[in-house]
Amino acid sequence: MKHKSVLATAMIAGCLVWTANAQAETPSAKMLAYTCAGCHGTNGASHGPATPTISGNSIDYFVEAMEAYKSGERPSTIMGRIAKGYSKEEFELMAAFFAQQKFVPAKQKADRKLASKGKAIHKKSCEKCHEDGGSSSEDDAGILAGQWTPYLQYSLEDFLDGSRPMPKKMKKKLLKAHKKYGDKGIQALLNYYAGQN
Ligand code: HEC
Ligand code: HEC
Quick: pLDDT tens for 17-58.
444 444 445 678 888 889 999 999 999 999 989 999 999 999
| Ramachandran area for residue 132 (φ above 0: left; ψ -120 to 50: alpha; else beta) | left
Burial class (CB in 10 A: 0-12, 13-18, 19+), 30: exposed
Q: If you measure from the C-alpha of residue 150 to the centroid of ligand 1, how many angstroms do you get, rounded to a whole number?
A: 14
Rounded Cα distance between 71 and 88, Å, is 12
Instruction: Give the Cβ contact number of residue 23 at 10 Å.
Output: 8
The closest alpha carbon to 194, from 129, 139, 133, belongs to 133
For the Cβ of 106 lying below 6 angstroms from any atom of ligand 2, the answer is no
Give the pLDDT of residue 28. Answer: 86
Q: Ligand 1: list residues with CB < 6 Å.
A: 35-36, 38-40, 50-52, 54, 62, 65-66, 76-79, 82, 94, 142
Give the pLDDT of residue 25. Answer: 57
State what percent of residues in the chain have pLDDT above 70.
87
Contact (CB, 8 A) for 54 and 42: no
Ligand 2 atom, smallest distance to 139 CA: 12
Q: Atom 39 in ligand 2: which residue has the minimum CA distance?
A: 126
Lowest mean pLDDT among 4-8, 47-51, 99-103: 4-8
Give the pLDDT of residue 15. Answer: 42
Contact (CB, 8 A) for 142 and 152: no
Burial class (CB in 10 A: 0-12, 13-18, 19+), 53: buried
Rounded Cα distance between 22 and 26, Å, is 8
Rounded Cα distance between 69 and 56, Å, is 19
Q: Atom 41 in ligand 1: which residue has the minimum CA distance?
A: 36
Nearest ligand to the C-alpha of residue 130? 2
pLDDT band (50, 70, 90) for residue 90: very high
pLDDT in tens, 139-168: 999 999 999 999 999 999 999 999 999 999
pLDDT in tens, 109-138: 999 999 999 999 999 999 999 999 999 999
